[in-house]
Amino acid sequence: MLKKLSVITISAGLIFGAGGGYVQQVDAQKPDGADKGKPDHAGNQKVENVIYMIPDGFNADYATNYRWYKGEDAVWDEHLKGLHRTDSEDSRVTDSAAAGTAMASGVKTNNGSVGLDEEGNEVETILESSSEKGKSTGLVATSTITHATPAVFASHVESRDNEPEIARQMLANEVDVMLGGGKDFFLPESDGGEQDENLLEQAEEAGYTNVETRDDLMEADDIDVEEGEKLLGLFADGPLTPEMEREGTEQPSLSDMTERSIDVLEQDKDGFFLMVEGSQIDWAGHDNDPTWAMKDTEAFEQAVEKAIEFAEEDGNTLVVVAGDHETGGMTVGSNGEYDTKPELVKDVTATGAAMADELNEDRSNVEEVVESHTPFDLTEEDVEEIQEAEDPKMAINHFVSDEALVGWTSDGHTGVDIPVYAYGPQSDSFSGLIDNTDLPKLMAEAMKVNLGDK
């Protein structure tokens, strides 16, 4: 009987210790291709750094379609831990501000609110509590850096739309690294911006090095956070360009920004907290654009790879990957067919919005435009539907989606549970079905910082 029990225990990947607990059997039940004998440090080891990666709008359907698009497992697949619930204080379907506030502070709030509870009181965020502990902090996004998700970590406003005030508060919060779009929210109206004053000048006075291109970012290697030096990169007046259109710009990729943020922040001997958002996965979902969704997910995966590579070398870094909600009601398969073919969008060269912008006034060039940017042939019926559509962008995206057998149920958010992936020390604490408010609490516990003292 004892021999049978020991066999069952080992096959489950666990070895029971003398204290009644267990440690992971490293070689047991490893997925094909995984490094045998290499521990993932999921236990109770010390956590000095947290890299919090948020693919906005992403859920299991995106993950599944992306796996077929890529043709192999994504970097996060082997690190799946569980799911988190996303409802906000006043709705079963959250927006990014309320979801982000919960994911940053551990407190539910109403849709639209940034860094406030339902009564309008400021709530402390995991970034702020990390800073109080002496850790360096960073925010990275492909939206404006003042957009809802990055905003909730370092500002407290009633409305997510108040981006000028968010910019002021983020600067006052002395976030050590801020990289993304949104230069207009740091410039005065006299320079075409949205501010009453020049926040870029104030940033320089506060010790920030300002960079505006990928080359500037990659060459900014003399920033010493231990000496109070900081990095601000605003690479577009508004949001950054979608990844599939970035090549003709001077903007960095999300992986570029992630890598450089880590390079700067890791100098702090007390550790760091970094949030990285793949912002435009959500925008692709709103547009029901499968190409944009898959290619920005690919860019996000490359950023996650940078984070995990650092965590593997460092040994004291926890990486958590979790979307804030799902967008678009993406499905795996459509039109009643028992299949999905998202890999077909690899050869699509423009977003639906960009294609719609190329249409002439009477839309007589639909076939020419769409076939020049996609590998698909349009029927007369397809052309007619796009010509007569109230929103040609959505009609083009639905045509591409139908060809790739990717379905959509909404042009807004949905309320489904979201996968949680984690790698590094104490990553197992994210297992099971948890709430979005649990995410920052578990990070705070892992880093031994006090969350919620504001």
Known catalytic residues? Answer: 96
Structure tokens at 98: 């309320």
Percent composition of the chain: helix, strand, coil (DSSP 3-state, to 5): 40, 15, 40
**Letter for the amino acid at 262?**
I
SS3 state of residue 233: strand
Is the Cβ–Cβ distance between 303 and 254 less than 8 Å? Answer: yes
Structure tokens at 375: 């590998």
Is the Cβ–Cβ distance between 411 and 394 less than 8 Å? Answer: yes
Binding site for Zn(2+), by residue number, is 56, 282, 286, 324-325, 413
Residue 363's CB is within 10 A of a number of other CB atoms, namely 17
SS3 state of residue 453: coil
Binding site for Mg(2+), by residue number, is 56, 147, 149, 277
**Cβ neighbours of residue 203 under 8 Å, at least 6 residues apart?**
171, 186, 210, 230, 232
Among candidate residues 284, 187, 305, 194, the one with its CA nearest the CA of residue 242: 284
Residue 31's CB is within 10 A of a number of other CB atoms, namely 8
Task: Tell me the residue length of the chain.
Answer: 454
Tell me which DSSP letter residue 157 carries. Answer: B
The full DSSP string for 361-425 is TT-TTHHHHHHHHSSPPPPHHHHHHHHH-SSHHHHHHHHHHHHHTEE-S-SSEE---EEEEEEST
Measure the CA–CA gap between 149 and 267, rounded to whole angstroms.
Answer: 26
**Letter for the amino acid at 255?**
S
Binding site, by residue number, is 56, 147, 149, 277, 282, 286, 324-325, 413
